[in-house]
A and B are shown apart, each in its own frame.
Chain A
Amino acid sequence: MPFIANTAGQQKQMLAEMGLTMDKLFSDIPKGLLCGQLNLPDGLPEQEVRGALAELAGKNSIDLTLFLGGGFYDHFIPAAVYSIISRSEFYTAYTPYQPEVSQGTLQAIYEYQSTICRLTDMVVANASIYDGGTAMYEAMMMALRITGRNKVIIDDSVNPIYRVMIESYTKNLKIEHVLTHCQTGLVDREQILAKLDNDTAAVILQNPNFFGCVDDFSDIAEAAHKKGALLVVSSYPISLGILKTPGSMGADIVTGEGQSLGMPMSFGGPYLGFMATRMEYVRKMPGRIIGRTKDRNGNDCFVMTLQAREQHIRREKATSNICSNEALCAMTALVYLSLLGKEGLRQTAQLCADKASYAYSRLTAIPGVKSHFKANWFFNEFVLDLPKDATDVIGKLIEKGFAAGFPLSRYYPDMKNCILVCVTEKRTKQQIGMFAEALESVL
């Protein structure tokens, strides 16, 4: 039997030594509840299973040229990332409950927390949440706990996938959601200020927003704080190579999807939800947190700390139910950012912005194709108005080998002809040119 060590002879010997039988070991299960043989296939040897799965993998097309983002990005991953996180001392370990035999994981997560703080200009980060959406939900819950209020304002330029997730999670809770509408690409200050009151726990925004537009929320942070509300900002970590940080805008909780930091797209996961906040709120933050301390002999070392917030101690009063997180993905992000370094991240972000700019100028030069927003400062995604239904155009471009972008009508019914186009550093000038030609040919 694969992966089972004891031979039939050993199993017999062990049972004999105990004076027990296999049936006796399972005798607490009432006879009527044993299921008999299941209707499952016979086991496969490695060679056959690899063949079968290679065939399935072959049914997925990865030859499309991707201009598809929407919060999930095709960035370049240096070979050393995979090579480092494939060390099984890391990936076959679990939550570092025993610090003496987990200093590797613990120090790495401490360095990850530090790196997230340096990236976002915040002072404390947790060891990860499942993904960007659950991180946003957790940030909202955290804001409710901190303020003792139950109203949240969320702008419709926040990733719609995250907004529907938050809706699901709060169906059974008494939380008032106020949705503001983004008309110009920039968050509408008037609407936000009109809704912001002394019952508001948080304003939830995203930068760059789902449409790719870049903003500075400093004024909103100030207005929120005046009302005793918090500003939650979801950000795209690669963009922080050049963009103003949520911390310097005055954000209270920063979250985001960390997939772009060295994780393959893997059809949706595993990804990385990151979360950072101010020190004064650390005890209200969900998830594991690693701290630096001294050991018995005065050596620097790392431990899980502030565990009194967590479910294994506080049970129903915990800040969250999270236990398993995305530790290996957090480590991936740390390794990726350490390999790129200060200048490498800046360059990567700049390349994304430059290539997106180039694509924007090429695509908007096509007759009938226009920018959707007027005030159009974008990072690496932008919205185009097409002369035709975007869903149809995207369908035709798939046949030509391009994932042209995301049809916004899926979440914004008024945006029938709008397409969200994404360009990362992996796209070449030549690919962008071919894409422009292909788009023009189907319009």
Chain B
Amino acid sequence: MKLIFDKSVPDRRGVTITRSDVATTVNIKKEFLRDKPAQLAELSELDVVRHFTELSRRNFGVDTNFYPLGSCTMKYNPKVTERIAAYPGFAHLHPLLPQLRGGGMLTQGALAVLYEMDMLLREITGMAGFTMQPMAGAHGELTGIMIMAAYHRDKGNKKTTVLIPDSAHGTNPASAAIAGYKIISVPSTDKGVMDVNALKKLLNDEVAGLMLTCPNTLGLFDPNIKQICDLIHSVDGLAYYDGANLNAIVGKARPGDFGFDIVHINLHKTFATPHGGGGPGSGPVGVTKKLVDYLPVSIVTKRHDGTYALEYDRPKSIGYIAPFYGNFAVILKAYVYILMLGKAGLVRVAENAVLNANYIRVKLQKHFEQAVKAICMHECVLTPSKGMLDSGVHALDVAKALIDRGFHPPTVYFPTTVHDAIMIEPTETESKETLDSFIEAMIDIAEVAKTDPEKIKASPLTTPVCRPDDTAAAKNLDLACL
């Protein structure tokens, strides 16, 4: 398909810019001006609409296809949340308004959303206070690690390392490293959970904390979780809960009760806000009482008269990590989602997410290998059977063959601790009928792989492109059309 620039026709115009009602005055030195206009495409409005409509048809989304991308929680994004985020009272609100005298009273509705969301998330996680500012999960991790560092600095602790399990998402070690820590990897047992004995050996006064996803990336809840948190506390380390997989336990169990000190939540996962083709997300961070003072500036508080205010005077705070209050529209959508589900609904979310994942796991266990033979939580990790691998059919081939059968592939080759991993996270918004047809497709792929592996390796055949050359892309860099 042509690039938008290739469709450009000189002098063609899209939207008409409003007429000027003032004189054109040159108030800028000539040498400060650009010599020729930016070479943007010149198109009619219809050209632009058609171009992007055509592009949209080259995408799978949750609205078009089952999207069991493990670890990403691709659940349905309720339309009502889009509608509410577009209410002019929210969408047209300038973020600096509360910083003007009298401006705070003109933003009470927005401040209420932030405050009430804080309260809901406290109850859901068992934490004592939240910042809504982090703009994605990884941003939340960095914020959390900065809070960890501030805590240790305050106590005069000389801590240098952060412990992270070998099965963790790559963001965990990356976040801790850019915050200035050395990373030490904690091995897993053959049951797929943290090796507690290995952890004990790694504990010393240098350890600032531990970052953990629970359930982990194998979809397993670590039954030793409380002991692990206690062990970290024994060296005055802090336990960090990566909330990427909160969907598995939301409403049923709370990281605060496990012993975690810091928690981030991916609102775009557990609380159903759209993933936007890669973002925006939102990654609020919650902390226990002893860490509340370190939360970023600003925090929304509620006054005695019921009005809301922003608190900036926070001497122990790690400071500003975002310009304002986070990805407000995303927070708003997640807030609406929680309000709609309520206490009973959230429990059903976790239950059905886990039920659906196990249903797939059990129905496929004769056709694929399970990375760990156990009940899983919200996602299951499979690998191709030995027979499939022997005929040269790998996780990637299964993924591509699923595309031809109308499904977005699961996450493949992650976690990296499992060879040829196929990580399936169906989420609770998918029905038994959808799961059944997915299971049928997976079984079909396993069968065809036995008799005609080349057919699987040739897929996908139904898409506009097939298996792009990644190596050529990285060697002959073409990153922009200039």
**Is there contact, CB below 8 Å, between B323 and A165?**
yes
Interface size on A, residues (CB 8 A): 214
Q: How far is the CA of A58 from the CA of B112 in the complex (A)?
A: 12
Task: With A57-B109, A321-B174, A335-B48 as known contacts, state yes or no: A214 contacts B340, CB within 8 Å.
Answer: no
Q: Mark B364-381, 1 if CB is under 8 A from A, else 0.
A: 000000000001010000
| Contact sample, A vs B, 19 pairs, CB 8 Å cutoff | A1-B344, A2-B78, A30-B225, A59-B89, A90-B276, A94-B67, A101-B408, A125-B479, A130-B135, A216-B32, A240-B38, A266-B85, A315-B170, A316-B173, A324-B275, A338-B43, A340-B14, A343-B37, A407-B101
Residues of chain A in range 108-138 having any CB-CB distance to chain B below 8 Å: 108-111, 113-115, 117-119, 123-125, 127-128, 130-134
Tell yes or no: A441 within 8 A of B by CB: no
Closest 4 CB pairs of A and B: A57-B89, A43-B342, A268-B324, A328-B276
Task: With A18-B358, A118-B40 as known contacts, state yes or no: A50 contacts B89, CB within 8 Å.
Answer: no
Task: With A130-B135, A293-B473, A341-B12 as known contacts, state yes or no: A318 contacts B174, CB within 8 Å.
Answer: yes
Determine the residue in chain A with the shortest Cβ distance to B152: A172
Task: With A72-B95, A100-B463, A111-B5 as known contacts, state yes or no: A38 contacts B375, CB within 8 Å.
Answer: no
Q: How far is the CA of A95 from the CA of B29 in the complex (A)?
A: 43
**Is there contact, CB below 8 Å, between B102 and A395?**
yes
Task: With A40-B342, A215-B32 as known contacts, state yes or no: A268 contacts B323, CB within 8 Å.
Answer: yes
Task: With A128-B279, A265-B92, A358-B23 as known contacts, state yes or no: A101 contacts B327, CB within 8 Å.
Answer: no
Task: With A6-B355, A317-B177 as known contacts, state yes or no: A338 contacts B40, CB within 8 Å.
Answer: yes
Residues of chain B in range 82-102 having any CB-CB distance to chain A below 8 Å: 82-97, 99-102
Q: How far is the CA of A111 from the CA of B6 in the complex (A)?
A: 11
Tell yes or no: A385 within 8 A of B by CB: no
Residues of A within 8 A of B346 (CB): 38, 40
Tell yes or no: B142 within 8 A of A by CB: yes
Residues of B within 8 A of A194 (CB): none
**Is there contact, CB below 8 Å, between A101 and B318?**
no
Q: How far is the CA of A337 from the CA of B482 in the complex (A)?
A: 15
**Is there contact, CB below 8 Å, between A341 and B58?**
no
**Is there contact, CB below 8 Å, between A33 and B225?**
yes
Q: How far is the CA of A255 from the CA of B25 in the complex (A)?
A: 29
Residues of chain A in range 230-259 having any CB-CB distance to chain B below 8 Å: 240-245, 248
The stretch from A146-154, A177-185, A306-314 touching chain B is A306-314
The stretch from B198-206, B386-394, B428-436 touching chain A is B428-436
Residues of B within 8 A of A78 (CB): 14-15, 45
Residues of B within 8 A of A111 (CB): 3-5, 481
Residues of chain B in range 1-41 having any CB-CB distance to chain A below 8 Å: 1, 3-5, 11-15, 17-18, 20-25, 27-29, 31-35, 37-41
Tell yes or no: A320 within 8 A of B by CB: yes
**Is there contact, CB below 8 Å, between A270 and B318?**
no
Q: How far is the CA of A324 from the CA of B429 in the complex (A)?
A: 22
**Is there contact, CB below 8 Å, between B93 and A311?**
no
Which listed residue (A13, A335, A354, A377) contacts B24, Cβ 8 A? A354
The stretch from A197-205, A221-229, A294-302 touching chain B is A294-302
Residues of chain A in range 1-56 having any CB-CB distance to chain B below 8 Å: 1-6, 10-11, 13-15, 17-18, 20, 22, 24-30, 33-35, 37-46, 49-50, 52-56
Which listed residue (A17, A358, A398) contacts B22, Cβ 8 A? A358
Tell yes or no: A386 within 8 A of B by CB: no
Determine the residue in chain B with the shortest Cβ distance to A279: B477
Tell yes or no: B349 within 8 A of A by CB: yes
Tell yes or no: A139 within 8 A of B by CB: no
Residues of chain B in range 254-274 having any CB-CB distance to chain A below 8 Å: 254, 257-258, 266, 268, 272, 274
Q: How far is the CA of A97 from the CA of B67 in the complex (A)?
A: 12
**Is there contact, CB below 8 Å, between B45 and A339?**
yes
Q: How far is the CA of A316 from the CA of B166 in the complex (A)?
A: 12
Residues of A within 8 A of B86 (CB): 82
Residues of B within 8 A of A13 (CB): 432
Q: How far is the CA of A428 from the CA of B22 in the complex (A)?
A: 9
Tell yes or no: B467 within 8 A of A by CB: yes
